[in-house]
Amino acid sequence: MVLYRGLLKSCNYRCSYCPFSKHRHSGEELLKDREKWFQFVEKVEQEALPGDHCLMVVPYGEALIHPWYWDGLGRLSRLPSFGAVGAQTNFSFPLEEALERFFRAGGKSFKLRLWATFHPEMVTVEAFAEKCRKAMEAGILLCAGAVGAPENMALLKSLRASLPDELYLWVNKLDGLKRPYTQAEIQGFMDIDPFFYRELRLNPANPKLCAGRVFAQGDGKLGLCSISPSIKEKWDGDEPGAGIFSERISLAGGICSRKRCSCYLAYGGRKDLMNQVLFGPYPIFRIPRRPKAVFLDIDGTLIPKGSRQIPQDVEEDLAALAKNGGTYLLFATSLPLAEAKKRCGKVWHLFCGGVFAGGAHLRLGRFSEKGREMVHPFEGNRLIPAINALREKLEGRPFRLLVYREKGAVYKISLVRPAQRPWEEKEAGKIAGILKREWDGEGIRVFTEGSCMQIVSAAAAKAKGVRQICRWLGIAPREAVAAGDGMEDQEMLSLCQGINLSEKS
């Protein structure tokens, strides 16, 4: 995720509170900004980056009134390694001309994203809403927003009413308010922006979630995000092999000394679960993805590694998604339903079923109501003597045997080791082989997750369960988001819009 802030410190608007409205650039200064931007674009083009990236221009003032930014964004959008490019803007640029320039540079409109800010001193609600509509008709993805000044509450409500429902209108907290918002103000802004509460959180800094981020500035400075300190290396250095990203930015990993990620450009760009669930693979653009369903693994995903509970911020975001997004929240876990309930008690009421026991038990419907269920049993009782024989062979490497039954039929068997002595890969493979031989058939699936070896019917898998639940819901799996962190999740992640939280991703 790359943010770029050039040399500009100026704007065509004259808002009374803004320092950039007072400053005008000379022709020479503008030329310098243009040169620097093109130097940056060339550097990015030359550095053949693996993977999927996005780039957002975050100027001091307004950049998109200058045609060179459209040329550069068009060029960057052609790169296969960039899935999204865009900018923050006051939305005052001439839309048709700008898009023409973008397309002439080879721009791909499906990659273009705009973050359009409403400036009540400079533009009317009607004119701003009309421009948003035109951009949407042109197929441009965008969000709109404004600063949450309490005196503008009524105006922002009328803006919300004038915009198409599908266009997200965000409200930023007003930094200069010098007092906390009242409950009535918070509620008022929440009615406009269901995610306004995220602006009011403290968001403790966590640079681990910022690996791979780059904030590049027109003077060559590099950092992780727009509020973190810069590193001493510069992106425009001419030493051989110098790149914008690669090694030099990995140096930045340890340099964030901030206590808080105090604005959206900071916290909204972190690679955390709910940023991606709510705002997609490029959350920095603040465009909600509004999936029809979300399937969430529990251990290592909803409950972070090393923790025993769902973080408070995740809980709040899930509540907002369930309330506002018209989204089905579903589990996708190897845990049996009763165990999932114990771990996720606080958010249990927000969910309406899921894939349990590694796909051996499916459920759709609120847990307080009678739902739709499917269980994949297998003749697990036949395996138990073989497992007990194994126990003797593995003396000194003990495990607990847990057998899960539904109406008397076995649907999952777990061989559980102490957390500090998990199954080793080789040993697990050997045991799986023995059990399958003992079973003498194709009907079981054995997989290992850390300290648990799981045995289920061969018909049971998370991806198969997700497919079945989507069928019940009448939606395509691609309309759903799935998040997970383990091998067992991979097929489900490729079936849906996947969020891979494994350390290797």
Residues in contact with ligand SF4 by CB under 6 A are 205-207, 210, 224-225, 227-228, 256, 258, 261, 266-267, 270
Going from the C-alpha of 66 to that of each of 216, 334, 343, the distances in angstroms are: 19, 53, 53
Scored b (16 or more CB within 10 A) or e, 175-213 reads eeeeeebeeebbebbbebbbbbbbbeeebebebebbebb
Cα end-to-end distance, the chain, whole Å: 14
In whole angstroms, the minimum distance from the beta carbon of 264 to ligand SF4 comes to 10
Kindly state the tokens that stand for 189.
């802004």
Q: What does the alpha-carbon distance between residue 382 and residue 367 come to, in Å, rounded to a whole number?
A: 32
CB of 254 to ligand SF4, least distance (A): 11
| Nearest-approach distance from CB 239 to ligand SF4, in angstroms | 25
What secondary structure does DSSP assign to 161-191, as a single string?
HHS-TTS-EEEE--GGG-SPPPHHHHHHHHH
Nearer to ligand SF4, 58 or 140 (CB): 58
- CB of 97 vs ligand SF4, minimal distance in Å: 35
Integer Cα distance of 156 and 209 in angstroms: 33
Q: How far is the CB of 283 from ligand SF4 (least distance, A)?
A: 12
DSSP line for 74-137:
HHHHT-TTEEEEEEEE-S-S-HHHHHHHHHHTT--GGGEEEEEEP-TTTS-HHHHHHHHHHHHH
Closer to ligand SF4 by Cβ: residue 166 or 175:
175
Given the complex with ligand SF4, which of 205 and 222 has the nearer CB atom? 205
Q: Exposed, middle or buried by CB within 10 Å (0-12, 13-18, 19+), for 43?
A: middle
For the record, the structure tokens of 357 come out as: 């026991």
Tell me the closest approach of the beta carbon of residue 284 to ligand SF4, in angstroms: 10
Name the residue among 290, 286, 271, 325 with its Cα closest to residue 113.
286
Which CB, 256 or 337, lies closer to ligand SF4? 256
CB of 205 to ligand SF4, least distance (A): 4
**Where are the alpha helices (H) located in 298-406, listed in sequence order?**
312-324, 337-343, 384-393
53, 42 contact by CB (below 8 A): no
CB 147 within 8 A of CB 172: yes
Residue 271 CB, nearest approach to ligand SF4 (Å): 10
Minimum CB distance to ligand SF4 smaller for 89 or for 228: 228
Structure tokens at 261: 């990620």
Q: Which is nearer to ligand SF4, 132 or 266 (CB)?
A: 266
Write phi, then psi, for 171 (nearest 5 degrees): -125, 125
Smallest distance, ligand SF4 to C-beta of residue 62, A: 24
Nearer to ligand SF4, 136 or 263 (CB): 263
Q: For ligand SF4, give the closer residue by CB, 275 or 301.
A: 275
Q: Which is nearer to ligand SF4, 229 or 433 (CB)?
A: 229
Six token digits for residue 148: 């949450």
Minimal distance, residue 229 CB to ligand SF4, in Å:
9
Residue 156 or 266 with smaller CB distance to ligand SF4: 266
Residue type at 462 in one-letter notation:
K
Q: Which amino acid is at 350?
A: L
Nearer to ligand SF4, 105 or 284 (CB): 284
How many angstroms separate the Cα of 76 from the Cα of each of 47, 69, 421? 12, 10, 49
CB of 224 to ligand SF4, least distance (A): 4
